[in-house]
Chains A and B, each alone.
Chain A
Amino acid sequence: SQKIEQNSEALNIQEGKTATLTCNYTNYSPAYLQWYRQDPGRGPVFLLLIRENEKEKRKERLKVTFDTTLKQSLFHITASQPADSATYLCEGPNAGNMLTFGGGTRLMVKP
């Protein structure tokens, strides 16, 4: 079955460093992937979309890559801040018009 997977272990980094989160997909080739941020008890909020024919997208301190050979998208936050601490979700299309999310990766940025 088509799957999107993210590292379920929390990522702990020091303030000012670059955080890199991984999203892997299996058994299909999504036309795009989207990244969302979710704070505890709240709904996800859209951050970036990247299409399969785009290698890289940037928005302020955020960067997303899409590698169709590795079947992977990487999400980077440069100069990370404690306020970036949250869970980050990867989402892509699924069969028909369904949408599927990875399990999310929790990022903790320590001052």
Chain B
Amino acid sequence: EAQVTQNPRYLITVTGKKLTVTCSQNMNHEYMSWYRQDPGLGLRQIYYSMNVEVTDKGDVPEGYKVSRKEKRNFPLILESPSPNQTSLYFCASSPGSGGAADTQYFGPGTRLTVL
């Protein structure tokens, strides 16, 4: 089944404790992206990647890191999480460059709480 998977689905952590949220897609998509969704602010793009070893900042990259060592995986790293990073996070992938009107396929979401 074609899908985007994220792990963990739920995570409660404490300020400053490094964490990684994994994202994997099995559709051989070029473009992958991370979003956070907060009430009243909608979906905001954190980072995106157009291909292996190519990553770029989105609207809200501060406090996050990403890597794209393999085409299928795009982990989101919070080196020192803070309470303002408490949010619902979505990973998404699409076939092309993102600028070519490609439909995004979203993962199920990761609900992160930073205490």
| CB within 8 Å for A101 and B43 given contacts A41-B109, A96-B56 | yes
Contact of A49 among B31, B90, B101 (CB under 8 A): B101
Chain B residue at minimum C-beta to C-beta distance from A31: B101
- A49–B104 Cα distance when bound, in Å, is 11
Chain B residue at minimum C-beta to C-beta distance from A51: B101
Count how many chain B residues have C-beta atoms less than 8 Å from C-beta atoms of the other chain: 30
Q: Are A43 and B90 in contact (CB under 8 A)?
A: yes
Considering only residues 10-54 of chain A, those with a C-beta below 8 Å from chain B are 31-32, 34, 36, 41-46, 49, 51
Binding site for B on A (CB under 8 A): 8, 31-32, 34, 36, 41-46, 49, 51, 89, 91, 93, 96-104
Q: Are B43 and A89 in contact (CB under 8 A)?
A: yes
Binding site for A on B (CB under 8 A): 4, 31, 33, 35, 40-45, 48, 50, 56, 58-59, 88, 90, 92, 97-99, 101, 103-109, 111
Distance (whole angstroms) from the CB of B43 to the closest CB of chain A: 4
Q: Are A46 and B104 in contact (CB under 8 A)?
A: yes
Residues of B within 8 A of A32 (CB): 101
Q: Are A93 and B98 in contact (CB under 8 A)?
A: yes
Residues of B within 8 A of A34 (CB): 101, 103-104
| CB within 8 Å for A103 and B99 given contacts A43-B92, A43-B107 | no
| CB within 8 Å for A103 and B40 given contacts A98-B45, A98-B59 | yes
Residues of B within 8 A of A98 (CB): 45, 48, 56, 58-59, 98
Chain B residue at minimum C-beta to C-beta distance from A34: B103
| CB within 8 Å for A97 and B109 given contacts A43-B92, A102-B42 | no
Distance (whole angstroms) from the CB of B19 to the closest CB of chain A: 20
Residues of A within 8 A of B45 (CB): 98-100
| CB within 8 Å for A89 and B42 given contacts A46-B104, A97-B99, A99-B48 | yes
